[in-house]
Structure 1
Amino acid sequence: MSSPPRAETFPANTPAVSQIFVTALSQGPLTRLELARRAGLSPAAVTKAVRPLIEAGYLVESVDEDARPALGRPASLVRVDSGRALFVGIKVTGDEVIGVLTDLCCRVLLARRLPLGDRAPRAVLATLADLTQELLAEADGLGVHVVGAGVAVSGDVDRAEGMVRYSPFLEWREVPLAELAAMTTGLPVTIDNDVRALTVAEQWFGAGVGLSDFALVTVGAGIGCGLVVHGRVVAGAHGVAGEIGHVTVDPAGPLCHCGNRGCVEAIAGDAALVDRVRAATGAEVTDAAEAAALAHEGVAGAQEAYARAGEAIGRGIATVANLLGPERVIISGEGLAAYDLFAEQIRNSFAAAAFGSAAQCDVQTRPLPFEEWARGAAATAIHSFIGSGSHQ
């Protein structure tokens, strides 16, 4: 077993330091003048903020050879030293644990998977610890310290308290996962809802970079939604902001596991699709892949199930657009494997339900494997390490 990583703190003694670092992290490399413009700070404030970050090795400054002017001093670019620190990100699903080792810029260096035979917290923690130790052993060989870990699970997750309030797929209630995972891994641990974690990664390192307001909608086992409003990932007062999976789109629709009827998830989630295809076709369908295969073969009942799912998802996305007016909605999740079966219905339903200029929202798809969800968990660990949550 590798030795426990040493504790390390990020030199963010003011909000400006965090703000400058996050700007360089997500949008760099940049000149100091451009850093000041994008961060909304004065050049003097940037100079003061950059100094401790350079001294601590988190930022480096170098000449931009590609932009060397004919006269005068060459431009200098400020960028993050991605190898300054490493992070572990872990995504827990119903049947496996996926882990990644990333650098400070959230680039995946290694990825590992371990099967999960038992969903009880004790068994999950043991698997999580084994996977983390594998990644730490690899990190030892790189000679760089792992300074934090993030764990992402589905359901109602209280990041501030480190508590999984309720995870229907894991059948967990009130599990203090952050504390338990920190004890078993020896690392500072941040936990979050898996969709919000993926949203952090998209905000800083993906399709949301530079956007003040966007939404990430995930389709698959559940229907999730992460929200970024005025540059902040929004959890809401009770940690469940963005739950479009439980927006009712058909009051007479099927019963949802939340107790209501006609929720988006009760119509478009994988389990709902499997049930509907099985009922409509009489086929012994056991999972979403088999349901999608029947629809691709042209079986009418299966195609109708996916068409109805697309309509529900489109209405759910329109609800987000009408309420928040995001610049972009990114659709992702494992359900995109069957996206061609309901893409048209999503677009048409969204256009019909979006009010006025909300229909101009840029809706795009972004297929992401589960390793990217684990990367999202690492992004939350980076977010916590920088300490920007109270400043951004």
Structure 2
Amino acid sequence: MRSTSRTEAFLAHTPAASQIFTTVLSHGPLTRSEIAGRTRLSAAAVTKAVKPLIEAGYLVEDVDEDRQSSLGRPANPVRVDGGRALFIGVKVTGDELIAVLTDLCCRIRVARHLPLRSRDPKAVLASTAALVQELLAEADGFGVRVQGLGIAVSGDVDRAAGVVRYSPFLDWRDVPLAELAQMTTGLPVTVDNDVRALTVAEQWFGAGVGLSDFALVTVGAGIGCGLVVHGQVVSGAHGVAGEIGHVAIDPAGPLCHCGNRGCVEAIAADSAIVAQVREATGVDVADAAAALDLAHTGDPGAREVYARAGEAIGRALATVANLLGPERVIISGEGLAAYDLFAGQIRDAFAAAAFGSAARCDVQTRPLPFEEWARGAAATAIQSFIRSDTH
């Protein structure tokens, strides 16, 4: 087993230094003056932070020979050398592990899928360790060390403690996943809720770059929501901030697995849609794909189920907009395969329920392949590596 001696400490020991590095990571290449402008730090603080990061190879200065010969100090941009470090991200679903090897800029270099024969934590850990070993071998081919492992799991996850408090899809309770995975892989481990992990990736590398306040809503097996407020991903006091899937839309609606009635998830999640399509049509559709196919053939009962799902999602988005006032709401997840069936209802319900200027929120759809969930896990590992305040 490979040991943690393979990893190294990052050089940004202060919040200012990690802020500077994160800014270059998300927005670079940037000149030092541009970094100072974006971070509102002094030129001296920027220079002090940048110098050791360049010397250690994390930042690269792009020297312009024409600028070098001009009068005054050259304004050479600096950028992150993505190949300087590697990270592994693993997304745990109910039936498979999806794992990626990424560079420091969270670009996927290698992706792997492994079916799960059991959801028992010990079995999942053993499969995760085997997958990590595969990716560590791949990393050796790049000649660069893997500096961290991120694991993303649905449900109530306490990132600070590294514990999965409750994951309904896996039927896990109080699993100290970070500690166990660190023991089995020898790597520093970050464990987070899968939607929050995806939100980190979107904040640093995707549709949320440069936004102070935005929300990511995922539609599929569940209805999830990641929130960024004043530049910070919000977990809440108990780690369950953003649970819009359990906002009650219809008190007389279908029973939700949480015990309440009419939750967004009980109306618009994949399993809820399948159950409602069966009831409305009398057709024993096997899964979400079969329900979608039936609706696409024009079956009125199936289409009505999707219309109700779209209305529930739209009202949930309006709730986020009213409470948070984000600049943007990004809709993603595998449920977007049905977007053509409920896009109109989402827009109409959002417009009707969003209060005042909240309706001006930019609502975007962002279809993402399933590997992006694992990339989100890798993003949390990158975040932990460069920001000590996130451990």
Q: Which of the five TM-score ranges fits, normalised by the shorter chain? A: over 0.9
Say whether 1:169 aligns with 2:135.
no
> What residue is the counterpart of 1:140 in the other structure?
140
> What residue is the counterpart of 2:295 in the other structure?
295
Q: CA deviation at 1:131?
A: 0.6
Q: Residue type matched to 1:130 in 2?
A: A
How many angstroms apart in 2 are the aligned matches of 1:72 and 1:354?
55
> What residue is the counterpart of 2:260 in the other structure?
260
Contact preservation (8 Å) 2:7, 2:146? no
Question: What RMSD over aligned residues (CA atoms) do the two structures have, in Å?
Answer: 1.6
How many angstroms apart in 2 are the aligned matches of 1:176 and 1:56?
34
Query: Is 4-13 or 152-161 further displaced after alignment?
Result: 4-13
Q: Residue type matched to 1:235 in 2?
A: S
How many angstroms apart in 1 are the aligned matches of 2:293 and 2:5?
47
Q: Residue type matched to 2:37 in 1?
A: R
> What residue is the counterpart of 1:31 in the other structure?
31
Structure 1 residues 5 and 106 mapped into 2: Cα distance closer, same or farther (>3 Å)? farther
- Normalised by the length of structure 1, the TM-score is 0.97
How many angstroms apart in 1 are the aligned matches of 2:79 and 2:364?
29
Secondary structure at 1:342's aligned position in 2? helix
How many angstroms apart in 2 are the aligned matches of 1:264 and 1:236?
20
How many angstroms apart in 1 are the aligned matches of 2:214 and 2:388?
19
Deviating 4+ runs (over 2 angstroms): 1-5, 67-75, 388-391
Q: Residue type matched to 1:150 in 2?
A: G
**Structure 1, unpaired ranges of 5+:** none
Structure 1 residues 81 and 302 mapped into 2: Cα distance closer, same or farther (>3 Å)? same
Cα deviation per residue 1:147-204 (whole Å; 9 max; x = unaligned)? 1000001000000000000000001001000011111111010000000000000000
Contact preservation (8 Å) 2:3, 2:187? no
Q: CA deviation at 1:45?
A: 1.1
Cα deviation per residue 1:34-79 (whole Å; 9 max; x = unaligned)? 00000111111111111221222211112257x9599546530111
Contact preservation (8 Å) 2:13, 2:388? no
Q: Residue type matched to 1:126 in 2?
A: A
Contact preservation (8 Å) 1:212, 1:230? yes
> What residue is the counterpart of 1:118 in the other structure?
118
Secondary structure at 2:151's aligned position in 1? strand
> What residue is the counterpart of 1:246 in the other structure?
246
Secondary structure at 1:63's aligned position in 2? coil
How many angstroms apart in 1 are the aligned matches of 2:242 and 2:218?
11
Cα deviation per residue 1:244-269 (whole Å; 9 max; x = unaligned)? 00001111111100011100000000
Query: Is 44-53 or 225-234 further displaced after alignment?
Result: 44-53
Contact preservation (8 Å) 1:25, 1:80? yes
> What residue is the counterpart of 1:206 in the other structure?
206
Say whether 1:314 aligns with 2:310.
no
Percent identity, aligned pairs only?
78
How many angstroms apart in 1 are the aligned matches of 2:177 and 2:3?
22
Secondary structure at 2:62's aligned position in 1? strand
Contact preservation (8 Å) 1:328, 1:363? yes
Contact preservation (8 Å) 1:125, 1:181? yes
- Normalised by the length of structure 2, the TM-score is 0.97
> What residue is the counterpart of 1:343 in the other structure?
343
> What residue is the counterpart of 1:106 in the other structure?
106
How many angstroms apart in 2 are the aligned matches of 1:55 and 1:68?
21
> What residue is the counterpart of 1:331 in the other structure?
331
Structure 1 residues 372 and 227 mapped into 2: Cα distance closer, same or farther (>3 Å)? same
Q: Residue type matched to 1:364 in 2?
A: Q
How many angstroms apart in 1 are the aligned matches of 2:331 and 2:38?
27
Q: CA deviation at 1:389?
A: 3.8
How many angstroms apart in 1 are the aligned matches of 2:51 and 2:387?
18
Q: Residue type matched to 1:44 in 2?
A: A
Aligned length: 390
> What residue is the counterpart of 1:160 in the other structure?
160
Q: CA deviation at 1:117?
A: 1.2
Query: Is 45-54 or 271-280 further displaced after alignment?
Result: 45-54
Query: Is 204-213 or 180-189 further displaced after alignment?
Result: 180-189
Q: Residue type matched to 1:236 in 2?
A: G
How many angstroms apart in 2 are the aligned matches of 1:279 and 1:289?
16
Q: CA deviation at 1:282?
A: 0.6
Cα deviation per residue 1:298-335 (whole Å; 9 max; x = unaligned)? 00110000000000000001000000100000000000
Q: CA deviation at 1:2?
A: 6.1
Task: Please show how residues 73-84 of structure 1 align to structure 2 within 5 Å.
Answer: 74-84=74-84
Contact preservation (8 Å) 1:244, 1:264? yes
